[in-house]
């Protein structure tokens, strides 16, 4: 009987600790979401992502780096390199990062890349289009980081 009582007490203690840990995680996630929803944080995120895109686009000035960027974007999107090369040739101002972002937004929103590229050309920011099409900025950041790393390694 003592063993059953001890076993039951131990199980109760473990369950209570798990509930407490889950509650702490939930509070932390809520705090992160609230910080992300603040207007000043959104503005910072927008500037950070747009600036990051411009920085990555500056890396593609060498053929080897451009090729590495195209291969990395192809890997991220599952789109063949020749298709991406054609898009980049048609929209040379897009750059590697713009190509990645445009195709990611297009894929997630079930729109054509041309539609997204045209909207960007009409003055809409990448961040604005991502938010309007429910594309996670965290996902975009992660993809941009992987492409940037591939391009830097090719230098």
* pLDDT, mean of each 10-residue run, the chain (155 residues): 72 63 62 55 64 90 92 95 94 92 94 93 91 92 94 88
CA pair distance 18, 118, nearest whole angstrom: 50
| Spatial contact of 104 and 143, defined as CB atoms under 8 Å apart | yes
pLDDT (0 to 100) of residue 40: 42
Short-list 109, 118, 130, CA closest to 53: 130
pLDDT (0 to 100) of residue 26: 72
CA pair distance 84, 86, nearest whole angstrom: 5
Helix (H, G, I), strand (E, B) or coil at 94: coil
pTM above 0.85, yes or no: no
pLDDT (0 to 100) of residue 155: 75
């Amino acid at each position: 009987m003592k063993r059953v009582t001890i076993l039951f007490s131990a199980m109760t203690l473990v369950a209570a600790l798990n509930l407490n840990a889950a509650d702490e995680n939930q509070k932390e996630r809520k705090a992160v979401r609230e910080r992300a929803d603040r207007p000043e944080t959104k503005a910072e995120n927008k500037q950070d992502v747009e600036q990051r895109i411009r920085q990555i686009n500056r890396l593609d000035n060498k053929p080897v780096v451009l090729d590495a960027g195209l291969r990395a974007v192809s890997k991220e999107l599952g789109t063949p390199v020749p298709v991406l090369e054609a898009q980049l040739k048609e929209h040379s101002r897009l750059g590697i990062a713009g190509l990645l972002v445009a195709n990611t937004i297009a894929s997630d929103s079930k729109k054509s890349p041309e539609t997204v590229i045209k909207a960007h050309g009409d003055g809409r920011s990448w961040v604005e289009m991502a938010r309007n099409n429910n594309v996670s900025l965290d996902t975009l950041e992660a993809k941009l980081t992987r492409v940037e790393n591939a391009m830097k390694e090719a230098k």
